[in-house]
Structure 1
Amino acid sequence: MNILFCYSSLLIGNVLIVILIIHQRGNHSEKTGVESKLKTSSNQISTNNNESTCFTTTTTTPPPNWYCVICSHHNCNNDSATICAGCGSIFMTNIEYLNFVHEQEKQLLRYQEDSKAFQEDLREQAHAAYYKNNDEFECIICYDLIGKNKGVLFHHCLHPMCKRCLLQMIETSTEPLLKCPHDDCTTIIGERELRGVVKDMKRDQKLVDRLNEIGVRWAESRHKTFHCITPDCKQWWFIEQVQGNNIVYCDGCKHWICMTCVAVHEGQNCLEYQEDLKIRAMNDITARKDQEHLEEMIKRKEAMHCPGCQVIIQKLSGCDWLQCTQCKMEICWPTRGPRWGPGGRGDTSGGCRCRMDKGKLCAKDCQNCH
């Protein structure tokens, strides 16, 4: 009775399991000899750990009518074939296969350890000023070879740069925004990264403050920029960056800025804030100034009352179609009224009726209220 021991591997969770399959072919008297040979093969695993286990070729000549250790297919049609006709795997002896399984298990453990270390490293760097480089790299500016963890990886583009060259950029720049120096990269280097490098190089944070001051002066001289309304905050944005957003988070003062009310009213919607502002304006000087500021904006036609809920809204740029963030009414900015009739979108029985009368615009200065 011939007994053929075949092994198959199965990955369950993160555990590699070797399955032993016993094929009975012949008399029982030969079983002991096969088991003894298998035991000898198992003992030899530790001595063959340094051998390659990528079995793309084999130096072992298959015996006649051999059985595949992977799928148990009986290869009897071509005695000289080293590829199993059943599963396409290469011929392996018991020793080779046991070494192969053992090596796969070691590779799995190495992968798990590397993955765990990588995740821990990411968690540590998540709140850091900048990412550290895991590999050596050549600085794109000075061409020096920068060792592991000695350079800077920018958060948004992950391009590397040496700290010395970045510090020199900070010290000499006459522009408020520093861009990544790598070719075809338009990423703006964040203030947190700049301050982190200045701190590591033991230089004064006034270097970064100088860039912020340049940025504020530059922003205030441009028409399509928006400066943070929080006192002493130097953060600013291009209008295109905040257009379409009801609220914007300021990295400088850590507040949410309402672009509709041009105010900070965290925890209140626009209607609640504006109603509360009217009440506080009776006794609170600051609130009164805010209320007067909103009223002045309405007089200058920089803001308006929503015709639906009366909340104050404003348009920063773009076309003349607006939607109230409070009641969701669609509004025509030039006429200061509803865009559509009582039935909502598509109802031309009311609203501004733009382009309905032979293409006539709702107002001379209409910039498409669609």
Structure 2
Amino acid sequence: MASKVDLKEAEKLAQSLSEALSSGDRKEAVELCERLTDLCVPVSVSISAQVYSQDSIRLRVGVEDAQSDAYIPVTVAVSAGMTIAELKDKISHDFGFHPLLQRWVIGKRLAQDPETLYSHGIRDDGDQAFLFILSAQAAHLTRHQHNLDQEQQRIDGIMESMQSMQLFPRGVGGGEKTAPPPEIEQIPPPVPPKAPIVTKPTVPPKPQFGWSCSMCTYVNKPTRPGCEMCGGERPEDYKIPEIYQPDQEEAQRMHQEQLATLQYEQAQLEERERNYMYLLATDEQNLIPNTTETDCPICFSPLQPGEGIVLRECLHTFCRECLKGTIVNSQDAEVACPDECDSKLLDREIKELLTEEEHQRFLELRLSIAESRSEHSFHCQTPNCRGWCIYEDEVNEFHCELCDETNCILCRAIHKNMNCKDYQDDLRIRAQNDEAAQKTKQMLESLLQNGEAMKCPRCDIIVQKKDGCDWICCLMCKTEICWVTKQARWGPNGNGDISGGCRCRVNNQPCHPNCQNCH
């Protein structure tokens, strides 16, 4: 602790420093600051209250606590140079709220005790502040502390009263006794007649509009979507009263919000239009180039913007050479993404990456794969011909447009100027000496043994059922045949004769357990 001599010197230096700062003597102020620094004593520097305007300001204060639904408007006479601590003392003196219970919010900011009202923009009549009253438990204010503070306030009031009293010296104004003035008889004035008592009608209290914030309890105007103080959300179940009329400031804010909403919607519309035009421009391109620098995941070569290809289906990026190699070496009709995802390359992408010759070979590979995977495909029997077809149940001949030959699907051969019976008879004769005919005969016999073909019960030629129901018709004798029973469908009199044949559906009984409708 500084000695008494140092404190006395520090007081003189502080007073001199105040005078030097007020007069604008910079050199003297610097020298005094250095001397004060050497003493190492705490010094408080503040602006004199005389600088601020001494005019009284009518401050509008909204008072609220945690239990109230709306704030209570109060008008307080203050000055611009008043500190928040002095304002708290004034409210404590006028309304009885302890300074520890007061929280002041001015200009959406929590005010601190050393700050002045001027620093918070309080300068004119009608400026607004918000006072929130805490509970004693929340402010940690005990009853004993409250009583001590009240006693101190009473003592301070007595001291102020004593200082303001005017004390006269002895013998002046009170040493001599003066005779009381003579009494004057006063005539009382006449008593006026009593007026009838008129009871004024009770005025209903003015309704309070607004919603209370669940976070800071500040009461906001009905049309505000969020809390003006803390930004909290408005309660979902709150509805704006129908009779509420917004003031000018609120109407201006709502108008600005509408303009902002319109601008936002306009910006969204323009952005959608730009995206749509970009998609149209992108769709016109067969290959989409990359827009960012990346690496090819196959060859790991760096790709500058525009050097790679972005696949449409999965957005994976590769170099042109790797994609082309993937297509050329593919053994499937659909080329999968090289990144092992489920997406496939589109035909327009494949055609753009390959040359005309490579694309033609790829299409031929696709046709070959489609033929091998089709259940009812038939390849032209002309040697080295690439023609093939997918046949239906009622079609027995295939005319190849590539070699201009007519194929018999039933015999699986080309037999010009011969019917199926003549061809099969000729085949049996030639099978004795012709190796090719022998192989064809063995093929037909294997079809008979495996149940894939049968002999017509009337003309004895070999017939096959390609697909569908169990009804077939011989091409030579036009006999209707039941495939599952391997016999004629009807009796000797033809269609409808149930005296013979398979007798299917007679007495609603199928001709065979495995019958698939032989008509």
Question: Could you say which TM-score interval applies, normalised by the shorter chain?
Answer: 0.3 to 0.5
Q: Which is bigger in relative contact order (C-alpha 8 A, separation at least 6)? A: 1
Higher-Rg structure is 2
TM-score, structure 1 length as denominator?
A: 0.44
